Structure 1
Amino acid sequence: MPRIIATILDSGIFIVLARVLLTLVFWSSGLAKLFDFSTNAAIMESFGLHPGWLVNTITMILQLGASLAIILNRGVWLAAGALAVFTILTIPIAHPFWAKEGEEAFRDLTVALEHVSLIGGLALAAVLSQKT
């Protein structure tokens, strides 16, 4: 590996940036739930999750709290595990590709596969947090 690449990969700034990027989808969603609470609570209810305000609150706390824990490298195994469970549960709730047809099924399948890949990234973050 070229020395410059090794230097970048060993950089503390790069590690924090990687954690921020890994959790971007979660903390941006958590902030959206905070700043547009009523709309997001209604979305929760549209998925059959009642009461929407409570599910939205719990989801927001999970997304923001676990993201922060990963970024700060504190309890990463727990935060990554919680986000992984949350992420896998969103597939049957919000992206049931097997129950759809055509382009809509393809779109949800793509999202589901992206979710599974993200879970792999979260697992790697938990593993690597043990080495720092």
Structure 2
Amino acid sequence: MQRYINTALDSGWLWLLARLCLMVIFISSGLAKLLDVEGGMTEMRAAGLRPDWLFTLASAAVLLIGAALILLNRWVWLGAGMLSVFLILTIAIVHTFWTMSAPRMQISLYFALEHISVIGGLWVTAIASRLRQRLADVCEES
């Protein structure tokens, strides 16, 4: 049984599937901002970001470019960094639970904690990508 698990964990298909699962939220959010620009601009106005059209397009670009880098397994560290900064800024600008009262505070806190967990997942992905590349390089040299 362990041999099958190890084979799956070493496989390229599971590596791609794991990255895809992590990127679903970023891809869907980025596409939503492009397909419903007015909705995206409403989000930006609600967060106090002006000009709303610029922040909507910039957000969509960061989300989709960062996700693409990770999915393509190219410059994963850069994609993970872009998306991590996006999430940190989202906490600082939108999910400011420390300025709110209950029950809004609790919901914002949960979103902030979720974002922090996803940031950890992004960093783990960047680390795993680097280690997989180093392993592939060593195997090629042998």
| TM-score interval for Structure 1 and Structure 2 normalised by the shorter chain | over 0.9
1:124 maps to: 124
2:8 maps to: 8
Q: Percent identity?
A: 45
| Unaligned runs of at least 5 residues, structure 1 | none
Aligned mates of 1:111, 1:38 — CA distance in 2: 23
Q: CA RMSD in A?
A: 1.2
Q: Spell out structure 1 runs of 4+ moving beyond 4 A.
A: none
Q: Deviations over 1:62-106 (max 9, x none)?
A: 101110110110111111011101101101211111111222111
Instruction: Tell me which structure has the larger Cα radius of gyration.
Output: 2
* C-alpha deviation, 1:41, in angstroms: 1.1
Confirm whether residue 18 of structure 1 aligns to residue 18 of structure 2: yes
Q: The residue matched to 1:44 in structure 2 has which SS? A: helix
1:55 maps to: 55
Aligned mates of 1:43, 1:114 — CA distance in 2: 19
1:68 maps to: 68
What TM-score comes out, normalization by structure 1 length?
0.95
Aligned mates of 1:115, 1:42 — CA distance in 2: 21
Moved more, 2-11 or 78-87: 2-11
2:108 maps to: 108
| Unaligned runs of at least 5 residues, structure 2 | 133-142
Q: The residue matched to 1:60 in structure 2 has which SS? A: helix
Q: Which amino acid aligns with 2:114?
A: E
